Structure 1
C-alpha cells in the first residue's frame, strides 16, 4: 500500500540523507537544470523593471516597493506551486522512489560541497598572490575586494563560510523539515532574491533602496531562527558556550541574522572578522592565518556531519513508527 509522501514519517529524514549524499559525491547539477539558476534568471529579468536607474528622478518609494513585493510574491507562489506539483506527481509512486526523487529535488536547495570548495580555493589562491586571492574571493562575495589585504581576504572568506553555512545548508534543511519540499524551495527563492535585490542603495546601476526592501525583509524573517541554530551548532562543535558574548557580538552587524553564525565562528576560532567600515566581530581576536581557514572548514564540516547524524537518528526513529 502506498502512503502519501507528505504523511510518511520516513520521507523527510531519508530525503535529507539522499540530498547530503548527492551533494557530497557529485556537487551541483548542471546550470541548465538547476532550479536556483532558474530563480536567478527570473529575478534578474524582472529586477531592472522594478528598480529605478541610479540617480534617476523617483516620484516616491511606494511604486518600487510595491512592484518588488508583487514580483517577489509571484515568484514565491510559482516555486511553491512547482514543488507541490512534484509532490502530487509522486503521490502514487513506490515509497523508495518517492524518497529518492524527493532527495534529488531537495539537493539543489542546499550546497555544502561547492561552498567548501570555494572557500578552500580562496585560501589556495592567496598562497599564490594577493591579487589571485582577491580575484577568487570576488567569486564568493559581493563586496569590493580591490583594497583588501591578505588577512582581510581570509577574514571575508571565513565570514562567507559561516554565513552561507546557514543560508546554503542549515536553513534549507530547517525549512524542509518544517514544510517539506515547498518550504525548502520557498526559502531558497527568498535567499536568492535577497542576494540579488536586498541592497541599500546602488547595485549594477539600479537603486534598490525600496525595490529590494521586501526581499530583504522576507529573507530576514525566514532566516531568523535557522541563523541562531547555526550559531548554536558552531559553538557546540567548537566547544564554546558563551551565548551572551555571542549575542552581543552578533548585534554588531547590520543584518539581524548573518552576524550570528559569523560571530560564532569568530569566537570559536578566536580570530577577528571584520568588514571594513561596517563591523568588527571579536575585535580582541587574532588576525586570521592560513591554518584558521582550514580550522573553519573543519568546524563547518563537523556541523554538516552532525546534521547527517541527526537525520540518521530521525530516520531510525521513523523506521520504527507505524506508517
Structure 2
C-alpha cells in the first residue's frame, strides 16, 4: 500500500456535495412551508402574479385558435420557469446557505395552503353575518362558478369543494414537485398550474388554445391528487373525521368526477367528514351536473371550518414527507480514495 493510499484511508468519510445540496433543499422546503403557514402568500409583488402578467402579455402575441399555438405558448412559458429553476439550482450548487435561502423563497412563493384556508374562512364569516352579496363577490377567490343566483347552501358547497381540490393544487402538488425535482420542479409546477387557471378552461377563446395547458396541469397533478387523497385518509382523525369513510368514498366515487384529479380529493374529503358533495354547477353559459361524492348530508356553514382543518393537516403532513424525502432518497455518500 502506498503512503498516499494510507493517508486516504485514514481520512474520515465526508459528505458529498450532492448530499449537502439535498440537505439544503430539504431545509429550504421546510422554511418555505413554515413561512406559508405563518404568513400566507407574500403580500406585495407576488412572483406568481408577475409570472401571470408576463404570460398574459405572451398570450396576446401568440394566441391563435389552434392547439399547436397553445402548446407553443405552454412550452415557452413553462420552459422558461423550469430554466430559471435550473439556473438557480446550478448557481447555488456550491453554497448550502444560498441553496437553502433560494429554495425557501421559491417554496413560500408557490405555496398557497394558508391563503386557501383564509379565503374559506372569509366566506364563512360573510355567511355568518348574513351578507350574501359579499359572499357571492368573494366566491371568485375560491371557484370559477357564476355566483349571482347562489344561496348559502351552494356557496358553502362551492367553498368546501374548492378547499378539497386546492389542497392538492395549491399545497401538496408544489411540495411534491419540490421534493422530486427541487427548484426546477417548484417553478415549473406553479407555472403550469397558473397557465391552467388562465387559459385551461372551456370557453370560445380557449377551447383549443388552452387544451395543452389543461392537459399538462392534469399530468402534473395526477400523483399529487392521489397523494392528497391518501393523506386525507391518514389525517382524517385530526379533523374529527373517519379514515374508513375517506378511503371508501375515494375508491368508490373519485373516478366519477369529470376531472381526473379533483374527484379523488373531493371524494376523500367528503368521506372523511361524512358529507355529500357534487351537484349542479353553473359556469357562465355552461351548466354541469356533477356526480355526488360521499354518503352524508350536503355541507353546512360549520363544515367549512372542518374542511380547512383537514386541509391544513393534509398539506403540513405532505410538507413533512417532502422535507424528509430529499435527504433520504440520496442517502449518505462518502468520498472514496
Q: What TM-score range do you get, normalising by the shorter chain?
A: 0.7 to 0.9
Aligned to 1:296: 307
Matched residue SS, 1:272: coil
CA distance in 1 between counterparts of 2:103 and 2:18 reads 9
1:72 to 2:64 alignment: no
Q: CA 1:313/1:84 → structure 2, altered by over 3 Å: closer, same or farther?
A: closer
Give the conservation status (yes or no) of the 8 Å contact 2:28–2:103.
yes
Matched residue SS, 1:201: coil
List gaps (5 residues or longer) in structure 1.
Answer: 53-62
1:282 to 2:284 alignment: no
1:247 to 2:248 alignment: no
CA distance in 2 between counterparts of 1:37 and 1:227 reads 24
Q: CA 1:109/1:44 → structure 2, altered by over 3 Å: closer, same or farther?
A: same
Q: CA deviation at 1:27?
A: 2.1
Q: CA deviation at 1:171?
A: 0.6
Matched residue SS, 1:271: coil
Give the conservation status (yes or no) of the 8 Å contact 1:14–1:315.
no
List gaps (5 residues or longer) in structure 2.
Answer: 1-13, 237-241, 281-287
Deviations 1:22-75 (A, max 9, x none): 11222222442x2211221122223344556xxxxxxxxxx5211110011011
Q: CA deviation at 1:260?
A: 0.9
CA distance in 2 between counterparts of 1:42 and 1:178 reads 27
Q: CA 1:147/1:313 → structure 2, altered by over 3 Å: closer, same or farther?
A: same
1:1-323 correspondence runs (5 A): 4=17, 8-32=21-45, 34-51=46-63, 64-93=66-95, 95-128=96-129, 129-202=131-204, 207-238=205-236, 239-241=242-244, 243=247, 245-276=249-280, 277-282=288-293, 284-311=295-322, 313=324, 321-322=332-333
- Aligned CA RMSD, in angstroms, stands at 2.5
Q: CA 1:26/1:210 → structure 2, altered by over 3 Å: closer, same or farther?
A: same
Q: CA 1:97/1:46 → structure 2, altered by over 3 Å: closer, same or farther?
A: closer
Give the conservation status (yes or no) of the 8 Å contact 1:250–1:281.
no
Deviations 1:80-138 (A, max 9, x none): 11111212222232x23421332122211111111111111011111122222111112
Aligned to 1:55: none
Give the conservation status (yes or no) of the 8 Å contact 2:279–2:290.
yes
Q: CA 1:297/1:244 → structure 2, altered by over 3 Å: closer, same or farther?
A: closer
Task: Report the count of equivalent residues.
Answer: 307
Q: CA 1:81/1:249 → structure 2, altered by over 3 Å: closer, same or farther?
A: same
TM-score by length of 1: 0.86
Q: CA 1:127/1:213 → structure 2, altered by over 3 Å: closer, same or farther?
A: same
Moved more, 152-161 or 238-247: 238-247
CA distance in 1 between counterparts of 2:269 and 2:25 reads 29
Give the conservation status (yes or no) of the 8 Å contact 1:224–1:256.
yes
Q: CA deviation at 1:322?
A: 4.3
